[in-house]
Amino acid sequence: MTMDDGADIVFTVHTKRQELLPGIFAGTEETTTGVIRLKAMAADGVLKYPIIAVNDAQTKFMFDNRYGTGQSTLDGILRATNRLMAGNIFVVAGYGWCGRGLAMRARGLGARVVVTEVDPLKGLEAVMDGYEVLPMAEAAKVGDVFCTLTGDIHVLREEHFLAMKDGAILSNSSHFNVEIDIDALTLISTAHRPLRDFVEEYTLNNGKCIYLLAEGRLVNLAAAEGHPSAVMDMSFANQALASEFVSKNHASFQKQVYPVPAEIDKEIARLKLAAMQVDIDTLTPEQEKYLSSYDLGT
Ligand SMILES: NC(=O)c1ccc[n+]([C@@H]2O[C@H](COP(=O)([O-])OP(=O)(O)OC[C@H]3O[C@@H](n4cnc5c(N)ncnc54)[C@H](O)[C@@H]3O)[C@@H](O)[C@H]2O)c1
């Protein structure tokens, strides 16, 4: 089987190493971008074996993507720049699980957080979580530090670079280095030099300088150490238990993308709480009866 992060292995065996396909009975996928790609392959009928979407387990995305990415992305930006965040306008592009985590942590350091979104529900959630929500065309004019976490392409592009303040810092924490249009940035720059580890200065043809971190790659992996093990433990528990599950049951699966079974997800949450020495309550028989009835209390 394959255990992937971003569908790179799956794509490679489906295109360049097809001779390996007969020996692969199933796979697991770690991240949002990989799951999106694998679902697209399944929808096109080209996926050759079943995949368990580890990313879509609640004990994965609610914790790794939110608290892991939130902390480690800031860690990468701080290690690369040693920038004081308090008072900065920090623009978070994408208010998904990763964006929520980063926005929360940046606010904790005293930044004034602006969120950009394309999904009305996420935009509304960001507003009600107390952030300013702007289109990127407006956010570009005011931001001091930018981070893209959308899984999309060219979220920051020429028109935005040209509108930015002198000294703006650009980073990405999504899976691929396509969220910041680096080719366009290079084309509109008259000079370009490394300034310190993981920081490149681009002098634009309008005279302003902007700073790109980690070549637009995942800043938390390039300039820091990724997520702490205390959150990756749940992701890897999902990988291990999903692998066991699919090894035993793959014969009954279609060539589709499947969720991690809810019992595995719940068991990982239970084990994590136990490891953290946190106890929770158990329903009393009376409560169980009440919660499964429709006539009591009416
Ligand atoms: N850095 C890491 O270690 C790490 C960890 C987990 C996931 N990831 C990656 O981070 C990315 C985001 O993951 P997620 O789980 O938060 O995904 P998600 O689907 O929960 O959130 C993405 C959000 O971006 C929004 N969006 C899409 N295009 C946009 C645009 N042009 N402008 C503004 N918003 C836009 C979507 O509406 C969505 O709300 C993925 O590429 C994922 O693989 C990185």
Reduced 3-state DSSP string for 131-170 = CEECCHHHHHHHCCEEEECCCCCCCECHHHHHHCCCCCEE
Ligand 1 centroid to residue 96 C-alpha, Å: 5
**Cβ proximity of 51 and 38 under 8 Å:** yes
> Which residues, 6 or more positions from 224, have their beta carbon under 8 angstroms from its beta carbon?
72, 75, 76, 79
Q: Count of CB atoms within 10 A of residue 236's CB? A: 16
Q: What residues does ligand 1 touch, defined as CB less than 6 Å away? A: 31-33, 61, 65, 69, 93-99, 116-119, 122, 149-152, 155, 173-175, 218, 220
| Confidence check: pLDDT of 18 > 80 | yes
**Cβ proximity of 81 and 169 under 8 Å:** yes
Same CATH topology for 2-56+229-291 and 65-222?
A: yes
Helix (H, G, I), strand (E, B) or coil at 5: coil
Q: Is 181 left (phi over 0), alpha (psi -120 to 50) or beta?
A: beta
Residue closest via CA to ligand 1's atom 37 equals: 119
Closest residue by Cα to residue 211 from 194, 188, 223: 194
Ligand 1 centroid to residue 149 C-alpha, Å: 4
**β-strand pairing of 257-259 with 51-53:** parallel
Render pLDDT for 67-124 as a digit per residue (tens, 0 to 9): 999 999 999 999 999 999 999 999 999 999 999 999 999 999 999 999 999 999 999 9
Q: Determine the topology of domain 2-56+229-291 in CATH.
A: Rossmann fold (3.40.50)
Ligand 1 centroid to residue 65 C-alpha, Å: 9
pLDDT of residue 132: 98
> Which residues, 6 or more positions from 281, have their beta carbon under 8 angstroms from its beta carbon?
none
Please report the atom of ligand 1 found closest to the CA of residue 100. 16
Q: Count of CB atoms within 10 A of residue 23's CB? A: 8
Closest residue by Cα to residue 164 from 199, 207, 127, 126: 207
Please report the atom of ligand 1 found closest to the CA of residue 32. 43
**Cβ proximity of 58 and 201 under 8 Å:** no
Listed by start position, the domains of the chain span 2-56+229-291, 65-222
pLDDT of residue 113: 98
Render pLDDT for 144-187 as a digit per residue (tens, 0 to 9): 999 999 999 999 999 999 999 999 999 999 999 999 999 999 99
Please report the atom of ligand 1 found closest to the CA of residue 227. 3
Burial class of residue 203 (count of CB atoms within 10 Å of its CB; 0-12, 13-18, 19+): middle
Ligand 1 centroid to residue 99 C-alpha, Å: 7
Please report the atom of ligand 1 found closest to the CA of residue 218. 1
Please report the atom of ligand 1 found closest to the CA of residue 122. 39
The sign one gets for the Cα dihedral 124, 127, 131, 133 is positive
Render pLDDT for 20-43 as a digit per residue (tens, 0 to 9): 999 999 999 999 999 999 999 999
Residue closest via CA to ligand 1's atom 3 equals: 69
Q: Which CATH class is domain 65-222?
A: alpha beta
Task: Name residue 165's beta-bridge partners.
Answer: none
Ligand 1 centroid to residue 58 C-alpha, Å: 16
Q: How many CA atoms lie within 13 A of 273 on its CB side?
A: 10
pLDDT of residue 135: 98
Render pLDDT for 39-56 as a digit per residue (tens, 0 to 9): 999 999 999 999 999 999
Rounded Cα gap, residues 248 and 230, in angstroms: 28
Ligand 1 centroid to residue 184 C-alpha, Å: 22
Rounded Cα gap, residues 13 and 19, in angstroms: 8
**Cβ proximity of 188 and 209 under 8 Å:** no
Ligand 1 centroid to residue 39 C-alpha, Å: 16
Mutate to test the pocket of ligand 1, among 75, 172, 175 (most ligand atoms within 8 A of CB): 175
Predicted structure pTM score: 0.95
Rounded Cα gap, residues 178 and 172, in angstroms: 9
Mutate to test the pocket of ligand 1, among 30, 32, 102 (most ligand atoms within 8 A of CB): 32
Render pLDDT for 241-291 as a digit per residue (tens, 0 to 9): 999 999 999 999 999 999 999 999 999 999 999 999 999 999 999 999 999
Please report the atom of ligand 1 found closest to the CA of residue 97. 16
pLDDT of residue 297: 77
